[in-house]
Chains A and B, each alone.
Chain A
Amino acid sequence: MKNFFRKVAFGIGPNEEVPSDPLAWALNQLDDVPDLTWKGKIPSGKEMIEIHARKNEIELKKVREKYKDDKKLLKIGIKRLNYETGLHFWPSLELSIRHTEAIYSNSPVLAKLWFFWSNHFAIVDGGFRTAFYTGPYQREVIRTNLNQTFEKLVYNVTTSPAMISSLDNGDNIGPKSKIGKKNKKSSSINENHARELLELHTVSPAAGYTQEDIIQLAYIMTGWMNGYSKSTGDTLPVEFNKDRHQPGKKTVFGKTYKSGKKSLENVIKDLVHHPNCRDFIATKLCRYLITDNPTEEMKKPIIKAFKDSDGFLPEIHKAAIRVAFEYNDQYQKFQNPENWFLQMAKLADFSWPTSPTIMDLYEVGRKPQLAHTQPQGKLYDLGHDPYRAKQPNGFSDFEADWISPELLIRRLVFAKDCFELTKSKNNNFKFYKNIVNKNFNNPERIFNYLEKAKKPYEIQILLFNHPEFLKA
């Protein structure tokens, strides 16, 4: 049963009590979305986009123009601009906020589900986007909606600056709209966002939509864009520009929608109420928490909770956690690199992430110190930086996608190198015995290996690469 704490969260820390009722402990974390635990400064999305991203976008044009004939100067100019806008700092700050929520908050189960939804609605990596958009999006659009309905979450995601940028909806212009008719050559629909709204965010291909459904949905989405002006670039708030909106009725899944701003809300309402949407979300939650191949039996209670509560996320989450609890002893899932890393950090009481005091010492405009960029560097090297998804379907939840010689090397080398993050008072067998007792079903079997270690750092390598630690 003890592995449940790692399955639905990140384990029990050395100074924490093992909850006597694990299921109640988990379920109690899902009704509210408390304030973030991070004690340092937390920039708002508005500040990130309207100050830092805007400056980066506007100045970059000037730098390119200024140094268009000298590649070397251009490189230096861009580097300086990146310092001036904190481009290399923000992702590590975001990771620190995120990891603090997993390791030190009172709602690690909610954090684990926050990570799930952030990955479900993944923002594609792009230097600029990764630096200024993705972190605030995951905090302000995904996390704040975790006690709302799935419908509201989807609508807020779809109209967020990060997703519109990630899936090019700003380029989605109705050919028969006012602007489309004026600039015939440069105006056409961009299907990218519409397709992913169906395929990845709501109903999945199992719903059997056609290319025409995608095109019609793209028409509905025409006009939604990041606000633009010459002096700000496209860093103004998201707007519905009716001059770009395709006029006329549109038909998706056989249902007709009137033209206008409200049609997006209406079509999302229908998509989230589609049976395939419930099935898809249940499958993905089970896959994330329990097994690569969820059974119908596993999915059933989650689908029911979705339907009965009209997609109320706390109810969906509770159903998923109950199922994870029920199947806890039957299934152990190989943990993805970030979850594995966070479990190491939590159980072994690492000095992780970089402290708020140190992060707050960073001044925009200066070159960040190593400590200011270490979180992103580490996660990237591990192959799993959650702000740098390569594709809109995010990181895989299939076990086989995380096992290869190189990925195994990462676990071996990280387990060794993370010794630098341990506190010297913890470098003794008694400490590890305590955490193993709290978190594993078969502590004696694990002790057998740990006892063979000759040095404290070797205990870590053995524990963190033990089959029971790699899975949960």
Chain B
Amino acid sequence: MKINRRDFLKATALTSLYFAGFGTPTLASNSPKKNLVVIMLRGGMDGLCAIPIKGDKNFEKLRSKINLDKTLDLTSDFDLHPALTSFKRLWDQNLAAAVHATNIPYTGRSHFDGQNLMETGGKIPYQEKTGWLGRGMNIAGLTGNGLALALPMPLLIRGVPMNNNYYPVGDKLPSNSTLGLIEQAFKEYDEKLLSENLKIVMTRELKNTGSRKNWSLAANAGEELSKPNGPRVAVFEVDGFDTHAAQGGTNGAHADCLSDYNEIVRGLKQSMSKETFDHTLIVTLTEFGRTIKQNGSNGTEHGYGSAIFLAGGLVKKAQVHTDWPGLKRKELFEGRDLNSTIDARSVYASAMSTVFDIEFERIQKNVFWGDKLDNLSDKLFKA
């Protein structure tokens, strides 16, 4: 364990100086489109299971039943969960990174409030009816550019009209003439939302047959994102991170969820053209991390700080970006959780600024109500 806060702050100050004076990058008109993929990890992803700290005896002691017996090597300070093989391959090519000890500014430990806030980006649960991603897309004028790989439309991407979703029904639609009559009825009754959705159904190219496995959904999304006129934003959901019991180490319930994430990354990488992957950023989102200490059922409780995985060609370099708060009792949030020293919304605002080519300040102001956020674009992403 070599990392400490002072080193981090020193390095941060230098990079900030170096990049001072550079304006927001602008997209040349003939450049390929840039894509943002957000993978929601529902249930509270355990950042310390995914990216454990090296050589912290106290940490190992607190997790004697759920420690990893084998890991992949990341940095001198951090290891990687062995289920994250595709992530690791990208890491080795400087195409993946992580932000650690981070979370949305929510400390209430409720899944529902937490998931609501991770999607809205707000501070009061259920107050906002749109998602930060939807609002960001709206500012960027990305109407009709969203694709959710889920049956319902996630709150995260609401706030911009005409989003699509894909979760194949496995059957044929009624004939076009029948659909035309329904379209007419929706119009007559002024059902705007239904009309909008029916229009997408009637005009899209996605097949209604096919597998709903993560890899397959990701492969379909990758193909759509690779089309010059295809969507620019995709949203995935992975459930099951709420491991109060039998969390396990290398092979447990948390490992299976991390594998689900890994499969999505693999599917995207394999289905995208090189050029598309080079212009894509894949980020994760969770409501909170989990307690440092295992509980009596070899699981963990709801916590606070977690980690964000970054992957894709727009990742600046392989790194674990963190302002590590430490795991000594007094360094923990409320004496029990990894603290969050980076507002996760800074990462998302920076990601949108990079991918949508919008000034960071504009996103900060119009998506996150002017909340105090740091522009991490130059540290984490390629201009």
CA distance A171 to B301 in the complex (A): 11
- Asked if B295 CB lies within 8 Å of chain A CBs, one says yes
Return B247 CB to nearest CB of chain A, in Å.
12
- A113–B58 Cα distance when bound, in Å, is 51
Knowing A406-B165, A408-B197, say if A417 contacts B125 (CB, 8 Å): no
Task: Give the CA-CA distance A199 to B198 in the complex, in Å.
Answer: 36
Interface size on A, residues (CB 8 A): 50
Stretch at the interface among A33-41, A186-194, A255-263, A274-282: A186-194
Q: How far is the CB of A171 from chain B (nearest CB, A)?
A: 4
Closest to B301 in A: A191
- Asked whether any CB of chain B lies closer than 8 Å to the CB of A461, the reply is yes
Contact with A190, one of B108, B198, B295 (Cβ below 8 angstroms): B295
Does A61 touch B at the CB level, under 8 Å? no
**Inter-subunit contact B165/A405 (CB<8 Å):** yes
Please state if A404 and B194 are interface contacts (CB–CB under 8 Å). Answer: no
- How many Å lie between the Cα of A188 and that of B239 in the bound state? 25
Closest residue of chain B to A452 (Cβ to Cβ) is B181
Which of B2-10, B185-193, B257-265 is near enough to bind chain A? B185-193
A183 interface contact, C-beta 8 A: yes
- The residues in A between 164 and 188 inclusive whose CB is less than 8 angstroms from any CB of B are 168, 171, 173, 183, 185-188
Q: Chain B residues near A449: list those with CB within 8 A.
A: 181, 184-185
B-chain residues with CB within 8 Å of residue A409 when the two chains form the complex: 169, 173, 201, 208
Q: Are B181 and A405 in contact (CB under 8 A)?
A: no
Determine the main DSSP class of B at the interface with A.
loop
- Chain A, residues 401-413, CB within 8 Å of chain B (1/0): the string is 1111111111011
Instruction: Name the residue of chain A whose CB is nearest to the CB of B240.
Output: A390
Q: Which of A63-71, A101-109, A319-327, A463-471 contacts B (4 or more CB under 8 A)?
A: A463-471
The verdict on B229 contacting chain A, using a C-beta distance below 8 Å, is: no
- Kindly state whether residue A55 has any CB partner on chain B within 8 Å: no
B67–chain A nearest beta-carbon distance, Å: 14
CA distance A211 to B110 in the complex (A): 10
User: Is A403 a contact of B174 with CB atoms below 8 Å?
Assistant: no
Q: Are B197 and A404 interface neighbours, CB within 8 A? A: yes
Which chain A residues border B109 with CB–CB below 8 Å?
191, 195, 211
A286 to chain B, nearest CB (A): 15
Closest to B206 in A: A405
Could you list 7 A-B pairs, sorted by A, with CB under 8 Å?
Answer: A171-B296, A186-B296, A190-B296, A381-B169, A396-B152, A461-B174, A466-B182
List residues of A whose CB falls within 8 A of some B CB.
168, 171, 173, 183, 185-188, 190-192, 195, 199-200, 205, 211, 381, 383, 390-393, 396, 400-410, 412-413, 415-417, 449, 452-453, 458, 461-462, 465-468, 470
User: What is B's interface to A at a CB cutoff of 8 Å?
Assistant: 64, 108-113, 125, 129, 148, 150-153, 158, 163-167, 169-174, 178-179, 181-182, 184-186, 188-189, 191, 193-194, 197-198, 200-201, 204, 208, 239, 244-245, 293, 295-297, 299, 301-302, 334
